[in-house]
Amino acid sequence: MSRRWLLLAVAALVLAACSPKLTPVTSGVDAQPATTAAPASPLPPIDPSTVEEVVEGVLPAVVNVRSDIGAGRSPEGTGFVIDPSGVVVTNYHVVEGAFGIRVVMNDGRRLEARAIGGDSAADLAVLKVDARELPTVPLGDSDQLHLGQDVVALGFALGLEGGPSVTTGVVSGLGRTIEAGGQGVETRTYEDIIQTDAAINPGNSGGPLVDLAGRVVGINTAGVGAGAAENIGFAIAINRARPIIDHAVEDPEGPAPLLGVSTQTLTPAVVAQNGLSVDAGALVLRLAQDGPADGAGIEVGDVIVAVAGQEVTGNASLQERLLEHEPEETVDVTVVRGTETVTVQVTLGVRPLPIEP
């Protein structure tokens, strides 16, 4: 993980606590909002293992991700293999701007990788290496997490030699929203974030946060130093990442549709605070200037309740509905504006891959 992203992660927490420049918010990000989609089939209940047993099972699938960004610089991060054919998940910022990507397996193999999908706004990249029968780690269900639950973080912290580091802790917060950026760097909003006291340091980014059944429940994305706060790290909830991962696997290098909005799932508190006339949907907080939604007449304050006639109940279902369509396709988007229901036609844009393949 680069020094820049460490500083951004520190700033995200410190300023969120004590500065108006960077405060926790309740917004989503563009048309790739936080997802709470459950796995296709119910997961078996957790049969708790010891941390040692969890690490033994997960470690072979944890990889070191090294990005060539020129000038002799090769920042490092972590990833994990989710498919034996060589699909690797990591953070977007680990590979951002890279001219080349190399994945180092736990057994020492060095494999060239390319991006097949991802979303910068979700800090997620999906990579592919040319290999077969790789060890994998299963995905869990972050909706089932609860405060105080034991978790284990694995990753190549600080780029230390000798393999990944292992830290343990508990889930100390759920549903966090943080912003990172500023000072000439694009500000990004990360939503549906898990907070944990398992130590997450530079180099951990992109690594798995697993439960005691050895299932990935989060993707480590930001650590903070003791100078800013004690025992706080962040991870992307795996249910938020799942549709993005699935899309990349099903349609490698395929463009994803772009609506051009930042949204928030309605809750009773959000409904009351904004005086809304509906109790389910995705509240539009921001519009990409001259983006598809902006050009079609969608406004900040609208509540998206349907896409192409299919109900939208929040950020997750908005994401799912959009991925049912192709870029450049024109779809009906139904919004509630005040007490009026309005349907507009939106020609979806194209969300670029995190890096050029």
Catalytic residues: 93, 123, 205
DSSP 8-state secondary structure symbol assigned to residue 249: H
E strand intervals along the chain = 62-68, 76-83, 87-90, 100-104, 110-119, 124-129, 150-155, 165-182, 185-196, 208-210, 216-223, 233-237, 256-258, 261-265, 282-287, 303-307, 310-311, 330-337, 340-347, 349-351
CA gap 203, 74 in Å, rounded = 12
Point out which residues pair with 304 in neighbouring strands: 282, 335
CA gap 192, 28 in Å, rounded = 8
Distances (CA, A) of 353 to 257, 320, 349: 11, 18, 13
List the one residue out of 80, 23, 35 whose CA is nearest residue 205: 80
Determine the angle formed by the axes of helices 238-250 and 315-322, rounding to 10 degrees: 0
